[in-house]
Structure 1
Amino acid sequence: MSDQHAMNGVTVTDVHAHVLLPALQAEVERRVPDAVREAAALELKRNGAESLAVSGAMVGARIPKLTDVTVRLAEMDAQGVDRQWVSASPNHFYPWAPEGLAVWAANEANRLVAAHVAQEPDRLTGLGLVPLQHPERIVECLDDAVLGRGLAGVEISSFAGDVELSDPRLEPFWARAAELRAVVFLHPFGCSLDERLDRFYLANTVGQPAENAVALSHLIFAGVLDRHPDLKIVAAHGGGYLPTAIGRSDRAWKVRPEARRCEHAPSTYLRRIWFDTVVHDPHALRTLVEVAGGSQVVLGSDYPFDMGLDDPVSLVRGAGLPAELEQRILGGNADSLLETRVRA
Structure 2
Amino acid sequence: MKIDAFSHILPPRYFEVMQGMVRDPRALKRWLTLPALYDVDARLAMMEEFGPDFSQILTLSSPPIELLAEPDSSGALARLANETLAELVTQHPRRFPAFVASLPLNNVAASLAEIEYAIDELGAVGVQMFTNVNGVPIDDPQFEPIYAAMARRDLPIWLHPTRSATTADYRTEETSQYEIWWALGWPYESSVAMSRLVFSGVLERYPDLAIITHHMGAMIPFLEGRIRLGWADQFGSRTHGEEARSALARLSREPIEYFRSFYADTSLSGSAIGTRCGLDFFGSEHVVFASDCPFDPEGGPMYIREMIRVIDSLEIDEGVRDQIYSGNVDRLTHGRLGLLLQDLGHGHPGEKADAGIGRAH
Q: TM-score range by the shorter chain?
A: 0.7 to 0.9
Deviation at 1:137, TM superposition (A): 2.9
Q: Secondary structure at the match of 1:309?
A: helix
Structure 1 pair 233–317 and aligned structure 2 pair: CA distance change class (3 A) = same
- Number of the residue aligned with 1:5: none
Is the 8 Å Cα contact of residues 66 and 134 (structure 2) preserved in structure 1? no
Which residue matches 1:229? 207
1:329 aligns with one of 324, 335, 344: 324
Report which of the two has the higher share of helix: 1
- Does the CA-based 8 Å contact 1:133-1:163 persist in structure 2? no
Alignment pair present for 1:313 and 2:308: yes
Kindly indicate whether the alpha-carbon contact (under 8 Å) linking 1:133 and 1:162 is maintained by their aligned counterparts in 2.
Answer: no
SS class of match (1:215): helix
Equivalent residue, structure 2, for 1:66: 37
Measured after TM superposition, the shift of residue 71 of structure 1 is 3.1
2: CA distance, partners of 1:162 / 1:140 = 23
Higher mean displacement: 286-295 or 198-207:
198-207
Name the SS for the 2:216 alignment partner. Answer: helix
Q: Report the CA distance between 1:67 and its aligned residue.
A: 3.0
Aligned-partner SS, 2:63: helix
Q: Which amino acid aligns with 1:254?
A: D
1:165 maps to 2:155: no
Is 1:297 the counterpart of 2:295? The answer is no
SS of alignment partner, residue 86 of structure 1: strand
Distance 2:13 2:260 in 1: 39
Gaps of 5+ in 1: 1-10, 45-51
- Report which structure shows greater RCO (CA 8 Å, sep ≥6): 1
Task: Calculate the aligned-residue CA RMSD, in Å.
Answer: 2.6
1:180-259 equivalence runs, <5 A: 180-191=153-164, 194-196=167-169, 198-250=176-228, 251-255=230-234, 256=236, 257-259=245-247
* 8 Å contact kept, 1:238–1:275: yes
TM-score, normalized by length of structure 1? 0.83
Note if contact 1:96-1:161 (Cα within 8 Å) is conserved in structure 2.
no
C-alpha distance in structure 2 between counterparts of 1:306 and 1:258, whole Å: 43
Q: Partner of 1:186: helix, strand, or coil?
A: strand
Question: Using the alignment, how far apart are the partners of 2:18 and 2:164 within structure 1?
Answer: 22
Partners in 2 of 1:76 and 1:331 — Cα distance? 17
How many residues in Structure 1 have an aligned counterpart in Structure 2?
A: 314
Quick check: 1:146–1:182 contact (8 Å CA) kept in 2? no
How many angstroms apart in 2 are the aligned matches of 1:324 and 1:310? Answer: 20
Measured in 1, the distance between the counterparts of 2:46 and 2:129 equals: 25
Distance 1:100 1:193 in 2: 25
AA in 2 matched with 1:314: R
After superposition, give the CA deviation of every residue in 1:68-102 in whole Å (9 maximum; x if it has no partner): 44433333331355221101111242336321211
Q: Distance in 2 between matches of 1:166 and 1:157?
A: 12
**CA offsets per residue over residues 253-300 of structure 1, 9 Å max, x none?**
333315414332222123321100112321211111111111000001
Distance change (3 Å), C-alpha of 1:92 and 1:168: closer
Which sits farther off after the overlay, 303-312 or 100-109? 303-312
> C-alpha separation between the residues in 1 aligned to 2:220 and 2:87?
35
Give the 3 Å change call, closer, same or farther, for CA 29–287 of structure 1 in structure 2: closer
- Cα deviation for residue 121 of structure 1 reads 1.7
How far apart, CA to CA, are the structure 1 residues paired with 2:64 and 2:259? 28
**Distance in 2, Cα, partners of 1:74 & 1:26:** 22
Q: Match of 1:242, SS?
A: coil
Pairing 1:123-162 to 2, within 5 Å after superposition: 123-124=95-96, 125-162=98-135
Q: What is the letter of the counterpart of residue 309 of structure 1?
A: Y
> Sequence identity, in percent?
27
Verify: 1:88 aligned to 2:60, yes or no.
Answer: yes
Does the C-alpha gap of structure 1 residues 228 and 123 become closer, same or farther in structure 2, counting only changes over 3 Å? Answer: same
1:267 and 2:256 equivalent? yes
Other-structure match for 2:359: none
